[in-house]
Structure 1
């Protein structure tokens, strides 16, 4: 019972963070999409939505939840005590979020204790995660408890990008062969709808695209049903957050183009046009690669 309560409280706090930072817009995505976003069950999502509704943050309109006020500090649950594996999942999400929001950048030095205090979890959990993550050669252990975020060159990024293309094209092949009743076809339709909605407001809300980008590529990879694919994408995601996302000179224009490319992929998938879907995916990956290389070159 305590474990379930801790999980629900943690999800509510994550919801509040994302609502405050504009990462979730009104109306909210479906419960199935939210469950996928927060890596939890729809039951937990339903309880979280009901709690935020009771607090007056959300209002239910038909089948949708809409935001009626911004959260405040008092809306957060008090710090919850998580089990070790729950702490590990919490820190992993927080680590990637710090990279995405540029709170950790190439060249930075930090300690395990600093991160543990920031996320409010055990330093042991932080160290275990960093040791696992160091296999990607993106961070290095300077001395016990202290780490350095490494910089890397275009050659390293391009080689990793080759892996991304292999993984995603293979995953798309698996996706196109999913049975009609597979829930992921429904998720693809919902994702296409959300792209269309974002396209209407992208001029003012272009940063919200990063969540859709994560969801689309995660959805594709899920069809491969291969945990090694997901592990490899961790490093690729960090590459893009470090460099592709860090260059904000034309971020709005890049995101507008990427929305159109995503929609072309999803339309072809939903029309069961295998060849067009693969061509559109290759086109999107080539655009992303060019942007990434340009960003790395400019920073060099």
Structure 2
């Protein structure tokens, strides 16, 4: 199994979601099919099956894997436990610069962040270098890291580029047709969206991860190294904004989930023009959500 235990925990959670779609007395596919479906190693698949068996969710006997009961909330690992070390440090860094009182021009001390984040120096520096490529922070020669600031202007510029990339990605998906991998992957998310919508009172905190999955499917299929690199920053910032303003988080996530589902439903119906229009509506709403999620400092 991978040394990063978060891979196993994330794989188990995704396996539980899959089992929930099968129903009692149905069977899971072969180990090889599961490795392909989940994108993990055979060793991790076996560890997941072992846990499902021990928890009484399935009966695993040789090649037979029969569902005995539906997964419960207590069967899942907490979202925080499924984050890799680098993802955890990125989230902590965003909390550090956006959740505190840091102003543009503030000095960022590596030694302090290493202690605060309980992270290695190498992992922290990898995170800092990632954000420095887009001007959020800057390393002064032979000195400290300096926060340049997540300003409203920065957010708008970032979103402008995101819209160009993602609209290009959706049109690419549409041009490849319903047999394309991205089309199939996006449509397969309908069950997960219905799960959140139908149980929004308890599931709304799980939406940011699903939102990230929805948008990443689009850009990944473009196979563009520059877009992939840019989207690493987009992924952290635009999905972190769900944490900033808690006042209407449940309602906001419900609206966004419905917007995703509108796109998916249009694709399922083969109505690609409507799918593109619905996606444009979603991006407009997402821009508004981001700009309303932060108390911006007055910019000069």
CA displacement at 1:281 relative to structure 2: 0.8
Distance 2:130 2:90 in 1: 14
Residues 45 and 113 (structure 1), Cα distance of their counterparts in 2 relative to 1, 3 Å cut: farther
Q: Structure 1 residue 7: deviation in Å?
A: 4.2
| Corresponding residue number in structure 1 for 2:285 | 287
CA distance in 2, matches of 1:241, 1:269: 24
Change (3 A) 1:252 1:69: closer
| Total equivalences in the alignment | 268
Name the residue aligned to 1:43.
Answer: 42
User: Pick from 80, 84, 87: which aligns with 1:93?
Assistant: 87
Question: Structure 1: 5+ residue runs without aligned partners?
Answer: 77-88
| Distance in 2 separating the partners of 1:192 and 1:116 | 40
Q: CA 1:151–1:267 in 2, change beyond 3 Å: closer, same or farther? A: same
Q: Using a 3 Å threshold, how does the CA distance of structure 1 residues 179 and 65 change in structure 2: closer, same or farther?
A: farther
Residue 51 (structure 2) aligns with: 52
The alignment's TM-score, normalised by the length of structure 2, stands at 0.72
Structure 2 unpaired stretches of 5+ = 20-33, 59-65
- Report the aligned-residue RMSD: 3.7
Whole-angstrom CA distance in 1 between matches of 2:269 and 2:224: 25
Matched, 1:28 2:12: no
Paired residue secondary structure (2:199): helix
Matched, 1:216 2:228: no
- 2:188 is paired with a residue of what secondary structure? helix
Q: 1:9 to 1:158 in 2, by over 3 A?
A: closer
Q: 2:178 and 2:41 mapped to 1: Cα distance?
A: 22
TM superposition score normalised by structure 1: 0.72
* 1:139–1:149 Cα contact (<8 Å) kept: yes
Once the two structures are superposed, the pairs formed by residues 196-215 of structure 1 within 5 Å of their partners are: 196-215=194-213
Q: 1:80 — aligned with what? A: none
Partners of 1:50 and 1:202 lie apart in 2 by: 29
| Map of 1:81 onto structure 2 | none
Q: Residues 44 and 267 from structure 1, CA distance in 2 versus in 1: closer, same or farther, beyond 3 angstroms? A: farther
Match of 1:62 among 61, 67, 70: 67
Larger radius of gyration: 2
Change (3 A) 1:33 1:201: farther
Structure 2 residue aligned with 1:230: 228
**Range 224-233 or range 105-114, more displaced:** 105-114
Given that 1:140 and 1:148 are in contact with CA atoms closer than 8 Å, whether structure 2 keeps it comes out as yes
Q: Among residues 251, 268, 271, which one is paired with 1:253 in the alignment?
A: 251
Call closer, same or farther: CA 1:113–1:167 in 2, change over 3 Å.
same
1:106-145 alignment, distance < 5 Å: 107=101, 111-113=109-111, 122-141=120-139
* Structure 1 CA distance for aligned equivalents of residues 141 and 69 of structure 2: 51
The one-character-per-residue Cα deviations of 1:95-133 (angstroms, maximum 9, x if unpaired) are: 334357x46635557544555567776423432442243
